[in-house]
Structure 1
Amino acid sequence: MPTGLIDTHQHLILRDRFGYAWADAVPALAEGSFTPEDFDLAVAGFPVAGALYMEAGVDDPDYRAETRHIARWVRAGRYLGQIASCRPEEPGLSNWLDECASLGVAGFRRILHVMPDDLAQTEAFRIGLREIGRRGYTFDLCVRADQHDIAADLLRACPDQQFVLDHCGNPDIAADGFDAWSRSLSALAAFPHLAVKMSGISANARADQHTLEHLSSYLDRVFELFGADRVVWGSDWPVCNLGMGVSRWISVSLDYLSGLGAAEREAVAEANALRIYRLR
């Protein structure tokens, strides 16, 4: 088994500081905060060796303040780095990238599945992505399975940008959407500058599907298409509470990784994250 997992997708919900309109409408996340100490309690006894903070979809007025706040924890060693929120389509992107150089930022994300599809198809958005890539940052793609064609267009338009596809490309497991997801994921995997994140899929599944037996066909397809050298792992805490919860997800992940060779396990658990996100 790997000596430890690097969590490339850990959120916080800090309601005393920021607004989270999306979470306020989700019963499992609607009340209270979800802090680093809460995460530590949830994963006690599991081999989580380090974490990369993932922006948590705070309300628009707060997204830069969130990054500045998390930077304190990066400097203190709580996080290996952070994936910050950005608006590639906006004129002020360069100034934001300049500031982020001192905030422990390893990459950026703009959550596309909650935005109109045509946003990512604008030239302004793509110009912004190319600037992010020129500065050596990754960009996490958070899209639904039915938006994979939009992701493919971005991959073609930004060949020098390292992308990471969140949550295995968000298969609609509850609706047994394997076939359509598998076909479109195959097209995405053909782009060598795309990695994929083993995270978040239990939130798309029914309670009776929260087993390795059921999820393994989706994970098998991810590894078949991308290979172990293009897969990173993430908890998606606390959003994973919509699914099987973080402790169960870690257990399922470790059980699945135990079926890989030693070098593949270490790559997925740690080495790929360090390389793709350029973490120290």
Structure 2
Amino acid sequence: MLFDSHLHLIDRDSLDYPWLADVEALNRDNTFENYSRDAARLGIGGCLHMEVDVAESDIQKETDMRAGLVGRPDSLMRGVISSCRPEENGFAAFLEHNRQNPAVKGFRRVLHVVPDEVSTTALFRDNINRLKNTGLTFDICVLARQLGLAKQLVDHCPDVTFVLDHCGVPDIASGRFEDWRDSISELARRPNVFAKISGIVAYADPGSWALADIRPYFEHTAEAFGPERIVWGSDIPVCNLGGGMATWVAATQALTAGWSIPERDGLYSANARKLWQI
């Protein structure tokens, strides 16, 4: 069974998603009911909700709505990764409030939608450092060109547990590999960083990609971080840009066919359950 550490639910009637207007392919609802149906068919036995960069005024509302799914009978939802604004002075109070909710497992600030300097300020770094000794993680969502910024943030917060989303968003469609590979290897030397192998089919050529195109990125991430620091995620509905969740599950199974049972179990489920204490 797979544990999905990266599910995005979209409910445009309840929450405001300013960025969706510019991404027509994703500008539609993604309900928990539809996801649960598809997950049951694909062997997904649990999931975390990943924040969807809602309007700042809706951040707490989104967190509370998705956390409410955890307690439902037969729900696959096991927790939420909340949005946040570490660049603002109100982060400390926001963190303290959400620490009271056991469904909140971590936080994320999408960094490729803000100026590069945002994550380099003392306030941002000091606020991320507040996560140490809390059991809460911080997801790093950057483009491949920003992996150096990710390294700087990690080095300033050595006692915080980080999760790198989407293998660092490699540009698979263009075939660029060497610079990304070297940056991933460097980041993986930091023992407090995990890698999320999540939905990377979205970064391949949607009309022509084959397993051989994504294999180098998948395998290098796994090798660099090792079998105990990788977790799996669907990144649905973003992975629909590269063929959909069923295609990504099938690709994952094909790419791990030669792995040992403990290695597959770690990526598929065990590492995530241990990391987020599920």
* Residue 2 of structure 2 corresponds to residue 5 of structure 1: yes
> How far apart are 1:94 and its partner, in Å?
2.1
| 1:14 aligned residue | 11
| 2:251 aligned residue | 252
| 2:204 aligned residue | 205
TM-score (norm 1): 0.94
Partner AA of 1:277 in structure 2 = W
| 1:84 aligned residue | 82
> How far apart are 1:43 and its partner, in Å?
3.5
Query: 3-state DSSP class of the match of 2:228?
Result: helix
- How many residue pairs were aligned? 275
| 1:74 aligned residue | 70
| 1:30 aligned residue | 27
> How far apart are 1:44 and its partner, in Å?
4.4
CA distance in structure 1 between the partners assigned to 2:209 and 2:196 by the alignment? 18
Partner AA of 2:19 in structure 1 = W
Cα pair 2:3 2:44 within 8 Å, conserved? yes
1:48 maps to which of 44, 47, 58: 44
Partner AA of 1:69 in structure 2 = M
| 1:94 aligned residue | 92
Cα pair 1:210 1:244 within 8 Å, conserved? no
Show structure 1 runs of 5+ residues with no match: none
Cα pair 2:20 2:26 within 8 Å, conserved? yes
Partner AA of 1:30 in structure 2 = N
* Residue 172 of structure 2 corresponds to residue 167 of structure 1: no
Alignment of 1:166-245 (within 5 A): 166-245=165-244
Cα pair 1:211 1:252 within 8 Å, conserved? no
Cα distance per residue 1:206-235 (max 9 Å; x no partner)? 024532222111111112211111110000
Cα distance per residue 1:25-72 (max 9 Å; x no partner)? 2122123x1101121333442110100111111112111110011121
Partner AA of 1:80 in structure 2 = R
* Residue 270 of structure 2 corresponds to residue 274 of structure 1: no
Query: 3-state DSSP class of the match of 1:140?
Result: strand
* Segments ≥4 residues shifted beyond 4 Å: none
TM-score (norm 2): 0.95
Partner AA of 1:22 in structure 2 = W
Of 132-141 and 49-58, more deviation after overlay is shown by: 132-141
Partner AA of 2:132 in structure 1 = G
Cα pair 2:45 2:76 within 8 Å, conserved? no
CA distance in structure 2 between the partners assigned to 1:267 and 1:5 by the alignment? 10
CA distance in structure 1 between the partners assigned to 2:98 and 2:208 by the alignment? 40
> How far apart are 1:6 and its partner, in Å?
0.4
Cα pair 1:171 1:177 within 8 Å, conserved? yes
Cα pair 2:165 2:198 within 8 Å, conserved? yes
CA distance in structure 2 between the partners assigned to 1:245 and 1:170 by the alignment? 17
CA distance in structure 2 between the partners assigned to 1:274 and 1:210 by the alignment? 31
> Using CA pairs below 8 Å that are at least 6 residues apart, which structure has the higher relative contact order?
1
Partner AA of 1:99 in structure 2 = H
Of 126-135 and 138-147, more deviation after overlay is shown by: 126-135
Partner AA of 2:53 in structure 1 = G
Query: 3-state DSSP class of the match of 1:15?
Result: coil
Cα pair 2:112 2:143 within 8 Å, conserved? yes
Query: 3-state DSSP class of the match of 2:69?
Result: helix
> How far apart are 1:24 and its partner, in Å?
2.2
Of 162-171 and 235-244, more deviation after overlay is shown by: 235-244
Percent of aligned positions that are identical: 40
